[in-house]
Chain A
Amino acid sequence: MNLDIQKVSKTFYAGKTSIPALNQVSLSLNSGEILGFVGANGAGKSTLMRIIMGVLDPDAGNIMIDDQPANIEARKKIGYMPSERGLYPKMKVREQLIWLGELKGVSKTEAASEVDELMGLLEIDEYKNSQLETLSTGNAQRVQLVAALVAKPQMLILDEPFSGLDPLAVRTMTSVLKRSADQGVGIMFSSHQLELIDQMSDRVAIIKLGQMQIVGTPDELRKAAHAPLTVTVPTPLADIFGELIKEEK
């Protein structure tokens, strides 16, 4: 599955004030590729991801999936993890995940099998019959990732999937995501942790104030910035692009 974002624009309104969230943003994501999406708070990352998933409609531009305009059926093949985490607090975890899988068009049996495997991989199988509200933030976030993966998606759109996680949880989740990418799943994820972006991403896209600044592989970005290369350690992206992604006041 290939995703093509074509000159997408979006403006929000607060009373008479207009707030341009996205301005002619173009980006693509290919099968098996991991795309790191970076920007300050309010840069437009979540807005773009919501538009990709059809949660918001763009004011202009197109979202193309496999060269066709995106629709509900195509989006069912995309796993989504929004930045504002949330599932039904009082519903049992396993039952809820299976139901979400069915909502994506997967049979109950398939969804159950996938949920059991994923909960095992993410080390949360002891919480199968717990209500979601009883889980810690880290475990709830793993559940959220299972929700995104349960329907065996062909693409993943993950908004800050690692925020608030301890290093062990981060390692577990990154291994699951890399496994998915190796199986041909295109992954777009946003994060403020540039080290993770650097380690995981095949390409990096940087957005500032609703406009795409630069897209390329980590090495291409280093070359573009004429960053000096060390003998053994690559220059951290944070040192090169720290100013670019600093939150504007």
Chain B
Amino acid sequence: MSPIALIIKREVLVKIRSKAYVIGTLAMALVGAGLCWVFKLVGSNLSGLDMGMADSASQAANEVLAKYGLTEAEFTQMVAQRTAEIQAESGGMDFVFNGPGYAIGLVTCVILMITIIQTGTSIAMGVVEEKSSRVVEILLASLRPRQLMAGKVLGIGLMGLVQVIVIVAATGISAYATGMTDFLFNSGVDLTSAIIWAVVWFIVGYFSFACLFAAVGSMVAKPEEVHNAAGPLVIIIMLGYFSAIYLTVGAPSLGGGFSMLAEIIKYVPLVNVLAMSSGLAAGTVSNVDGFIALGISLVFIPLLIWLGGKIYSYSILQTGSKVKLLKVFR
């Protein structure tokens, strides 16, 4: 077995034997599945209420129209005229809030965000464990630093993917059992495209961040220092999360200064991972934009891997205080 395969094997076994990993995965799968049943329960309770409320609303509307001496047709014409005037004032742009698309986009974004942060932190903690226990010195006598980093990234990434599959499968089965899949398929959202884009952006996002998290782990001396050191990466991920909310809603179509920011963020590697995965899932970002952003990110991944590898190779044997980034490049 190659050295990288042996490192992957060890990482996989460590995760499988980790109670935190197993319980965490099952818990998230249960939450996802449980939410489907909660929505079904809430939905069926509300449907009876909806019918009664609709009758009351119709009666109230007729009373208002009668008070102002308007017929229903005259009122409808007035609304259409005013809508056209508003659209003309806003540059003729349409904004239609797609509820199902928003839900799918948001769920995709949240799952990806949690997985990338969790697996990234796992990598960083594993690296600092090897550094603080000094086992890294024995390992580096048998393989190169980049081989060690590659094994960790691939092994932990594999287990991250397994976690996502378990959660999505549990949620999907529950959604099917509760009839939510019918609702989604009839909502006009392209579910197949959404799932494919989510998987693609998970892979791109994971490999974009994984080596940087490994680099962060190599720069600190103790596991307690990892969360602080990983702060900048988490900020980038959160920036992507807020962009995702914006793009998923389709808010750029409203125009204004934020629309230009959203357009730029779509193509910025690292930040665009969550934004694009959710925007594409929601259908508010076009496939053309998706492919352009993907192409840019794929060009950047080797650079990010090189950067992470360089920092890791220099820092992994440094003991004492946190390694300063400038020293790596001197």
| Chain A residues close to B by CB (< 8 Å) | 50, 53-56, 72, 75-76, 78, 80, 82, 84-89, 91, 99-100, 102-104, 147
A108, closest chain B residue (CB): B1
Determine the distance from Cα of A54 to Cα of B3 in the docked complex, in whole angstroms: 16
How many pairs, one residue from A and one from B, have CB atoms within 8 Å of each other in the complex? Answer: 54
Do B137 and A84 touch (CB < 8 A)? yes
Contact of B79 with A by CB under 8 A: no
- Taking the closest CB of chain B, its distance from the CB of A28, in whole angstroms, is 20
In the complex, given contacts A76-B142, A89-B129, what are 8 additional A-B residue pairs having Cβ atoms less than 8 angstroms apart?
Answer: A50-B137, A54-B140, A86-B135, A88-B130, A88-B135, A99-B10, A102-B1, A103-B139
- Taking the closest CB of chain B, its distance from the CB of A86, in whole angstroms, is 3
Do A87 and B142 touch (CB < 8 A)? no
A103, closest chain B residue (CB): B142
Q: Which residues of B contact A80 (CB under 8 A)?
A: 138, 141
* Known A-B contacts A102-B6, A103-B3; A72 and B143 likewise in contact (beta carbons under 8 Å): yes
User: Which residues B93-147 have CB closer than 8 A to chain A?
Assistant: 129-130, 133-144
- Taking the closest CB of chain A, its distance from the CB of B93, in whole angstroms, is 58
* 9 nearest A-B pairs in the assembled complex, by CB-CB distance: A86-B134, A53-B141, A84-B134, A82-B137, A86-B133, A80-B141, A86-B135, A103-B142, A55-B140
* Known A-B contacts A55-B317, A99-B10, A102-B1; A87 and B141 likewise in contact (beta carbons under 8 Å): no
| Chain B residues close to A by CB (< 8 Å) | 1, 3, 6, 10, 14, 129-130, 133-144, 317
A84, closest chain B residue (CB): B134
Q: Which residues of A contact B133 (CB under 8 A)?
A: 86-89
A-B contact pairs, 28 of them (CB 8 A): A50-B137, A53-B140, A53-B141, A54-B140, A55-B140, A55-B141, A55-B317, A56-B317, A72-B142, A78-B141, A80-B138, A80-B141, A82-B134, A82-B138, A86-B133, A86-B135, A86-B138, A87-B133, A87-B135, A88-B135, A89-B133, A99-B10, A100-B142, A102-B1, A102-B6, A103-B6, A103-B143, A104-B142
Determine the distance from Cα of A84 to Cα of B130 in the docked complex, in whole angstroms: 12
* Known A-B contacts A102-B1, A103-B3; A55 and B137 likewise in contact (beta carbons under 8 Å): yes
A85 partner, pick from B3, B14, B134, beta carbons under 8 A: B134
Determine the distance from Cα of A91 to Cα of B138 in the docked complex, in whole angstroms: 15
Do A87 and B138 touch (CB < 8 A)? yes
Do B134 and A54 touch (CB < 8 A)? no
- Taking the closest CB of chain B, its distance from the CB of A57, in whole angstroms, is 10
Q: Which residues of B contact A89 (CB under 8 A)?
A: 129, 133
B130, closest chain A residue (CB): A88
- Taking the closest CB of chain B, its distance from the CB of A39, in whole angstroms, is 19
Determine the distance from Cα of A54 to Cα of B138 in the docked complex, in whole angstroms: 10
Q: Which residues of B contact A50 (CB under 8 A)?
A: 137
B139, closest chain A residue (CB): A103
Determine the distance from Cα of A74 to Cα of B140 in the docked complex, in whole angstroms: 14
Determine the distance from Cα of A75 to Cα of B133 in the docked complex, in whole angstroms: 22
Q: Which residues of B contact A72 (CB under 8 A)?
A: 142-144
- Taking the closest CB of chain B, its distance from the CB of A216, in whole angstroms, is 28
Determine the distance from Cα of A46 to Cα of B140 in the docked complex, in whole angstroms: 15
B138 partner, pick from A56, A76, A102, A147, beta carbons under 8 A: A147
Determine the distance from Cα of A82 to Cα of B134 in the docked complex, in whole angstroms: 9
B327, closest chain A residue (CB): A13
A144, closest chain B residue (CB): B138
- Taking the closest CB of chain A, its distance from the CB of B140, in whole angstroms, is 5
Do B141 and A75 touch (CB < 8 A)? yes
Determine the distance from Cα of A56 to Cα of B145 in the docked complex, in whole angstroms: 11
A82, closest chain B residue (CB): B137
Q: Which residues of A contact B1 (CB under 8 A)?
A: 102
Do B135 and A75 touch (CB < 8 A)? no
Q: Which residues of A contact B136 (CB under 8 A)?
A: 86
Determine the distance from Cα of A102 to Cα of B140 in the docked complex, in whole angstroms: 14
- Taking the closest CB of chain A, its distance from the CB of B193, in whole angstroms, is 43
B6 partner, pick from A82, A99, A147, beta carbons under 8 A: A99
Q: Which residues of A contact B3 (CB under 8 A)?
A: 103
Q: Which residues of A contact B134 (CB under 8 A)?
A: 82, 84-86
- Taking the closest CB of chain B, its distance from the CB of A96, in whole angstroms, is 9
